[in-house]
Amino acid sequence: AKFANSSLRNEEVLQLCHPSTECAIGLIQSAALIDQSDDYRANGAWSLLTTVIVIGLLLLYIYILNMKISKFSKTLLQPLRSLLDDMVVLSSLELADIDDENLPIDIAGVSATNVAEELHHLQDSFKTMRNAIRSWSKYVPPAIVSRLFSAGLEAKIGVVKTKATILFCDINGFEASCKDLSPAEVLDLLSIVTGRIADVIHRNEGTLLEFIGDEVLAVFNAPRPQERHVYFAVVTALQIHAATKGLTYHARVRDIPIQCRCGVHSGPIFAGNIGSHKRMKYGLLGDGINLTARLKGLNSRYNTLTLVSEHVVSEDHVDRLLFRPVDAVAVKGKNKPTVVYEAMMPHCAHKARTVSLRHSEGFKLYQQQQFLEAREAFGEVAQALEAHTAGSYDGPSRLLASRCDGYIKCPPPPDWDGVDRLVKKSFEGVRLSDAPAPESSDPTAEAVEPTEVSSTCGTLAKQLTFSEADANTSGSADGTLQEGDEPIKAMVWDADHFRVSGDSSAGAATQ
């Protein structure tokens, strides 16, 4: 009854029977119930304490293990992971994403003193390799080496035929401008200008192949395929002029205004590795490269900034750009003519397009030998463009207008095809932007008898092409005189018209 009324649980009471331990009715003589609650509670408390101690030890072990793992990760795993990321970047030649070579070794925020010694040596070796490849990429276009990495191939001699767009660019009058400069100043000037040119080419995803003195050669759509490569090549040329507009180099002796010339041509070329098996370079082969260089040089002759070939203008995706025909020429060494176009800088889109169309109409009339109408069109173009900037001189329209004047007075021969066959490769001279404004006709020219003009037409027609091709703005070109042409002494090119100089004693000129 005592135990029945107590709050003890069965587990806290011990039941003993005698003589049978099973306490079955009829088999026992006596039985006893023993209160063991104190022992039970003591055992429970000890078990709880033991569990707490074990859990505490486990937590301490986990903490210590985590500290060791963190230290191991910081000194080995994280630096290794960072090295792996840099190697992946290096394998694709994304060198701009790699830490600057001037920074101390500090990978994933761990100083070199906390990095394992072996890993520290690995970092030093990688840094040396990284700097070497970074320097190497400044000599070799990264696009070329990237293709070799991607294909897992070794560079070998060989070229492939491909369609590409070539861009040549240089500094107008560079040699004359640098005559009095020190070597350090020349190098500084080149670094400033070519640096801006290279940035524009890179921005438009072109491949800069090489620097040749003050010249820069770039190609689009090789070796890396590029959609609308013709468009981007022309845009690059226009952006180069925008990047160097108003640029003046302040040398010790004088200030040098910078003006660039660009030539762009698109067509089939051979591109690939040329040279020897021990030393080679990625280069271009074909007539297109020579034509592009000639177009670049012709800018000085026509007082233009960017000249392109007819193959560029014929592309469909350049219709957003403005061009105007400048001349039909056959460069020296070639019989096949090509129409040369100027890529116009769109100061005002509507006005520039109107001027471009009017100039194209005049050029068509010029080729059809309708010289009166063509001269009128070229005069309108010259006035429109020269009115935009005070003191400017539009070379293409003035040149063609002066030719029209000459052909009006002395019609071309029956086999005239409108092609100017050049006898020079280079047209270096003073800046044509400094050419004098057109002068009015000499009053004495009106007094020339028609018979005298007629007698001079044969020589004028014969010398017309030669004088334009062989003369530059720095002087005059004397033609070969025939018997009976005594009154004509020379064909003088003064950048806006031909002047047939007569006898010095007469002091008269026929325009």
How far CA 264 is from CA of 128, 231, 238, 357, in Å, comes to: 40, 10, 11, 21
User: Does an H or E element contain 274, and which?
Assistant: strand 260-275
Q: What angle separates helix 395-409 from helix 450-470, to the nearest 10 degrees?
A: 150
Strands 323-330 and 280-285: unpaired
Give the pLDDT of residue 81: 76
Separation of alpha carbons 292 and 306, rounded Å: 11
Helix (H) or strand (E) holding 340: strand 338-343
Instruction: Give, in order, the Cα–Cα distances in Å from 8 to each of 34, 35, 286, 302.
Output: 11, 8, 109, 118
> 209 and 218 in contact (C-beta within 8 Å)?
yes
The 3-class secondary structure across 35-73, one letter per residue, is: ECHHHHHHHHHHHHHHHHHHHHHHHHHHHHHHHHHHHHH
The H-or-E segment that residue 290 falls in is helix 287-302
- Whether the pTM exceeds 0.75: the reply is no
- Facing residues of 306 across strands? 262
Render 145-172 in DSSP notation, one character per residue: HHHHHHHT----SEEEEEEEEEEEEEET
- 3-class DSSP state for residue 345? coil
The dihedral region occupied by 312, where left means phi > 0, alpha psi between -120 and 50, and beta the remainder, is alpha
Handedness of CA 159, 163, 167, 168 (dihedral sign): positive
**329 strand-pairing partners:** 338, 420
Q: Give the number of C-alpha atoms closer than 13 A to the C-alpha of residue 144, restricted to the C-beta side.
A: 23
Residue 43: predicted pLDDT: 84
Peptide bond into 183 cis (omega under 30): no
In this structure, the number of other CB atoms found within 10 A of the CB of residue 344 comes to 20
Residues 6 or more apart whose Cβ sits within 8 Å of residue 288: 166, 265, 266, 267, 268, 269
pLDDT (0 to 100) of residue 228: 94
CA distance 208 to 219: 7
Along the 511 residues of the chain, how does pLDDT read in single tens digits?
455 556 666 666 777 776 766 676 666 667 676 767 777 788 888 999 999 999 999 999 999 998 888 777 777 777 777 777 777 766 655 654 444 444 444 444 445 455 667 777 777 888 888 788 777 777 777 777 777 666 666 788 999 999 999 999 999 999 988 888 999 999 999 999 999 999 999 999 999 999 999 999 999 999 889 999 999 999 999 999 999 999 999 999 899 999 999 999 999 999 999 999 888 888 999 999 999 999 999 999 999 999 999 999 999 889 889 999 999 998 877 788 999 999 987 655 667 888 999 999 999 999 999 999 999 999 999 998 888 776 688 999 999 999 999 999 999 999 999 998 887 766 665 344 433 344 333 333 333 333 333 334 544 444 444 334 333 333 333 333 333 333 332 233 333 333 333 333 333 333 2
pLDDT at 471: 35
* pLDDT, position 115: 61
